[in-house]
Structure 1
Amino acid sequence: MTAVRTETAAGVRSIILCRADEYNTITPELRDELAAAIDEADNDPDVHVMLLRADGPAFCAGYGLDWSTQMQAAESESDRVWDSVADMRVLSTFIDVYMKLWYASKPTIAAVNGWCIAGGTDMVLCADIVVAGEGASFGYPPARVWGTPTTAMWVYRLGFEKAKRYLLTGDEIPAPKAAEIGLILECVPDDQLADHAMALAKRMAQVPVNQLRMLKLLCNQTAENMGLSSSRTLGTLLDGVARHTQEGRDFVARSAQAGIRQAVRERDDPFGDYGSRGRS
């Protein structure tokens, strides 16, 4: 494995995103390695809890926009119109992996450092519990153009009004604010994050694994009864639609012309957050 590595101690399987130089952006390789790591941990009788964390300055800065915008640009050169069914099938190969954190029979904890934005939130909000360093930041900037949250966990974590507040602006959410509004469980000093998350995972791992499985299933069933599966399906479909609106296509064209970093700056500069913080 090159994008993910694992470690095991005291009943806790650490699953570590290790594309640090690329801010752990999501690629097909990361998708496949993460899927294998979750499945392996869920099937290992010696593992009680999974702890997802990341090397480097960012937990996950979303999809690798270089390959994803290039893929859409190549698609636009085809003689065929956009195929929404094919698009959804491709995107679902990623979404199904993130949902493994939710549907794994054992508890999943995520320890977030640095950026966790865009597709990174699609992933991390599927974990059962999220803790973050106080310097971490969350958000879904593609809500401004070119995307919608695919796993659709925002409403289930925040409620209607707070989810709308942050999705209808795409605003950045610093970790202390994320904890205050209930997007994550808590934030701790950055230098205590690793130890704090591991201590929580080890404490949880002392409970018999059959008890952990039953309690997780019981809690998760509430969201299932609220329609999580249909919300996820709609979120995935609408993400494809958002990438193929006129504004979405213009964003891809601008990325090809000026580079993805410049296109993102032009999107975010009016809001003065994420990479544009301090520029406006």
Structure 2
Amino acid sequence: MSGPIRTETADGVRSIVLARPERYNTITPELRDALAAAIDEADADPEVRVMLLRADGPAFCAGYGLDWSTEFQATAESDWDSAMDYRVMSSFVDTYLKLWYAAKPTIAAVQGWCVAGGTDMVLCADLVVAAENAVFGYPPSRVWGTPTTAMWVYRMGFEKAKRYLLTGDEIPARTAAEIGLIGECVPDDRLTEHAFGLARRMAMLPGNQLEMLKLLCNQTVENMGFASSRTLGTFLDGVARHTKEGRAFVGRAMEAGFRQAVRERDAPFGDYGSRRKE
């Protein structure tokens, strides 16, 4: 049985590939652990200068595998431990942050859905390149979540971050590039070629130069309070999942299935699962 992650190396570029296409590469504890190990291994490999995060299938990452996570909350609902919740969610956040804190540059190549927890992951990459068919967004802002890695404001600024987080609206790739959420948008059939070409171009620089330049850029965000923002984001995510509305959402998911609960949540907005067949 193949694992949730596979890796490839060429021309100084380590491709780390999410390999659960039949599940839209949704996030599970197994994927979390495999991704953490793959990033650590690439960062320690002297033959690797750049990491390229990619995904098999029609979607980059449709968020958490909420079939298991809603069930987990439902079974623990009567005795919610906020400290334990924070610790569990931090284990996922710490993995995404490996893309940010890795000494080597990280690029993400995104196609299809990249929503909810998928954005928590991908926005920690140094650069994001997307196909025109990519769609970003944080629909759990409507109920049952907040962005844990809190990268939205740092990438887009206050005004745009509030525009999309306070509605949960989906963001087509072209718009995402225009507002600064991602770096580039390219035709669907050129995504892998373009992203790998960019990674290979970076890999032409000396490794120590790449590491110093990344550290210099990232330190600006650190100085803006990134650590406290993600701490608050991770904590509030747990709170949001246990509000009256959050508990009702979980109850509906257990009763009718998660996809149906999502469609009902998004139906008034006419986007995501309410409009498209997942």
Aligned partner of 1:172 in structure 2 is: 170
Which residue in the other structure is 1:16 paired with? 17
Question: Aligned partners of 2:248 and 2:69: how far apart in 1?
Answer: 15
Q: Distance in 2 between matches of 1:229 and 1:43?
A: 24
TM superposition shift of 1:247: 0.1
What amino acid is aligned across from residue 47 of structure 1 in structure 2?
V
Deviation at 1:64, TM superposition (A): 0.3
Counterparts in 2 of 1:196-207, with a 5 A limit?
Answer: 196-207=194-205
* 8 Å Cα contact 1:4/1:30 also seen in 2: yes
Matched, 1:123 2:124: no
Contact map agreement 1:272 1:278 (CA 8 A) in 2: no
**Paired residue type of 1:115:** W
Query: 1:68 maps to which residue?
Result: 69
Q: Which of residues 130, 133, 139 is equivalent to 2:131?
A: 133
1:92 offset after TM fit, Å?
A: 0.5
Equivalent residue letter for 1:70: E
Identity %: 77
CA RMSD of superposed structures (Å):
0.9
Stretches of 4+ aligned residues off by more than 4 angstroms? none
Residues 16, 53 of structure 1: 8 Å contact kept: yes
Aligned partner of residue 53 in structure 1, secondary structure? strand
User: Given that residues 95 and 151 in structure 1 are in contact (C-alpha distance below 8 angstroms), is that contact kept between their aligned partners in structure 2?
Assistant: yes
Distance 1:260 1:17 in 2: 22
In structure 2, runs of 5+ residues without a counterpart are none
Query: Normalized against structure 1, the TM-score is what?
Result: 0.97
The letter of the residue matching 1:46 is E
Q: Aligned ranges for residues 127-276 of structure 1 at < 5 Å?
A: 127-276=125-274
Is the Cα–Cα contact under 8 Å of residues 69 and 255 in structure 1 kept in the other structure?
yes
Please name the residue that 2:52 is paired with. Answer: 51
Q: Which residue matches 1:95?
A: 93
Aligned pairs for 1:72-87 within 5 A: 72-76=73-77, 78=78, 80=79, 82-87=80-85
CA contact (8 A) 2:26 2:61 kept: yes
Q: CA-to-partner distance for each residue in 1:77-119, whole Å, 9 max, x for gaps? A: x4x3x21111000110000000000000000000000000000
SS at match of 2:136: strand
Mapped partners of 2:139, 2:37: distance in 1: 29
100, 112, 115: which is aligned to 1:114? 112
- Give 1:277 deviation, angstroms: 2.2
Q: 1:46 to 1:160 in 2, by over 3 A?
A: same
In structure 1, what residue type is equivalent to 2:5? V
Distance 1:277 1:199 in 2: 35
SS in 2 for 1:269: helix
Give the number of equivalent residue pairs: 276
* Cα pair distance change 1:259/1:278, threshold 3 Å: closer
- Give yes or no for contact 1:69–1:252 (8 Å, CA) kept in 2: yes
SS in 1 for 2:54: strand
Kindly provide the CA deviation profile for residues 180-202 of structure 1, in whole angstroms up to 9, marking residues without a partner as x: 00000010000000000000000
